[in-house]
Structure 1
Amino acid sequence: MLEFVRLVMLTGGLLAIMPVLLIITLAVAVERFYILKKILRQGRYAHSNLRKVPDNDVDGLQAIVEASSDALQSRLISTAIAIRGESAEDMDLRLDEEILAASPKITRRLWVLDTSVTIAPLLGLFGTIVGMIQAFNVLSSNGGPSKVTGGIADALVSTGAGLLIAIIAVYFVNYYSTLSREIMHQLELIKVALINRMQGRETRVEPARPVRLSAGV
């Protein structure tokens, strides 16, 4: 503990911020993991059951909503039920509006992880610079070379701590960006499935399909 306090004093107090930043980063990472995984799981349930619902079966759609009323996807299904009878184009626009409204809930607090990736190495580097300045001040005060090199080595702890936090945060940023894209894709699939079933026929409002190559003549 005394050694940590000494390093904090050496880096001008910046090293003390690192544990706080690490705790915040891990707290947001754990919270987002739980929320995003829950949304994905609910989406798989909704899409799987939606594919089993016959065309124009409002009761079947309502049953999916009641089974998971707190799910993000249930809001999409409820909207489709409320606007049944509208054209495919109008329904597509209304459901797109719901998807866009849900987007902030999916990406909430991810900016904290982005900030950790950027600010942690900078704080670490700044702490190292402050520590090196103090180490060279020792040299100018007739301190021995060993004290200078020891001070620089201690100051580098700040940079190492910042890089460690950034490495942890950048992993979660990339992982949650992938999960967010999966959820948005999932919502698009549910939207298309809803339009097809509410219209009772195939519509042109669907994801891009792969090009079919015709057989050679």
Structure 2
Amino acid sequence: MTELIRLITLTGGLLAIMPLLLVSTLAVAIERLYFLKKMQREGSDIHNSLRQVPYQNIAALQTIANEFSDTLQGHLIATAIASRGEDADDTEMHIEEEIMAAMPKINRLLWVLDTSVTIAPLLGLFGTIIGMIQAFNVLSANGGPSKVTGGIADALVSTGAGLLIAIIAVYFVNYFNNLTRRIVHQLELIKLILINRMHGNGISGNAAQRPVASRVGAGG
């Protein structure tokens, strides 16, 4: 404890901020990991369920909406059903509005990780500079080179701590950026499925085969 207090004093108190920054980074990372992975799993389940719904089967869509009523994706289904009397473009705009309204919830607190990536190395470097200034003050006062080198080595602890936090934070930033992109893509896919199921009639087997038969006949 005495050594830690000495290092904190050497870096002008900046080293004491590092544990708080690390804890906040890990807390946000854990919370976002749970929330976003849960949303992705729910979206995957809803997507698979929607793929099994026949065209124009509103009752089946309502069943899925009721089953997943506490999810964002379930709310999208309810929104689509509420606007089923309108055309496909209007339904799409209503669903898109719900997706845009949900984006702040998806991106919530991710700015903390971005801030950690930027500020942790800067705080560490600043603490190292303060420590080196104090170490050189020892040299001018006492004429002890060994004390100077030891002081510089101690000051570098601040830089190392800042870089460690930044490395952890940048990993989570990249991971969550990729995860949020997949979730948004999933929401867009669910939107298209809802529009197709509510305003489309599907493709019959004969209609799907007709172009192939035409090409074969033309080739013969």
TM-score by length of 2: 0.90
Q: Is the 8 A contact 2:56 2:201 kept in 1?
A: no
In structure 1, the residue matched to 2:24 is: 24
Partner residue, 1:208: none
Structure 1 segments unaligned to the other structure (5+ residues): 203-216
For 2:119, the aligned partner's letter is I
Opposite residue 54 of structure 1, the aligned amino acid is P
Whether 1:5 and 2:2 are equivalent positions in the alignment is: no
Q: How does 1:108-147 map to 2 (within 5 A)?
A: 108-147=108-147
Per-residue deviation, 1:53: 0.9
Q: Equivalent residue for 1:178? A: 178
Give 1:207's aligned residue. Answer: none
Aligned residue number for residue 161 of structure 1:
161
Deviates more, 1:86-95 or 1:183-192: 86-95
Tell me how large the CA RMSD over aligned residues is: 1.5
Q: Please list the CA deviations of residues 121-142 of structure 1 after superposition, one character each: whole Å capped at 9, or x if unmatched.
A: 0000000000001001101102
- Larger Cα-atom Rg: 2
Judging by fraction of residues, say which structure has more helix.
2
Runs ≥4 residues deviating over 4 A: none
1:200 positional shift: 2.9
The answer to whether the Cα contact below 8 Å between 2:132 and 2:155 also exists between their aligned partners in 1 is yes
The alignment partner of 1:141 has SS state of helix
In the TM superposition, residue 166 of structure 1 has moved relative to its aligned partner by 0.1
* Residue 201 of structure 1: how far off its partner (Å): 2.8
Partner of 1:42: 42
The answer to whether the 8 A contact 2:55-2:198 is kept is yes
Structure 2: gaps spanning 5 or more residues: 203-218
Task: Specify the SS of the correspondent of 2:142.
Answer: coil
Amino acid at match of 1:140: S
Deviation at 1:143, TM superposition (A): 3.3
TM superposition score normalised by structure 1: 0.91
Structure 1 residue 152 displacement after superposition: 0.5
* 1:78-103 superposed Cα distances (whole Å, 9 cap, x missing partner): 10000002111111111111111111
Q: In the alignment, what sits opposite 1:62?
A: 62
Residue identity over aligned pairs, in percent, reads 69
SS at match of 1:56: coil
Whole-angstrom distance in 1 between the partners of 2:18 and 2:201? 58
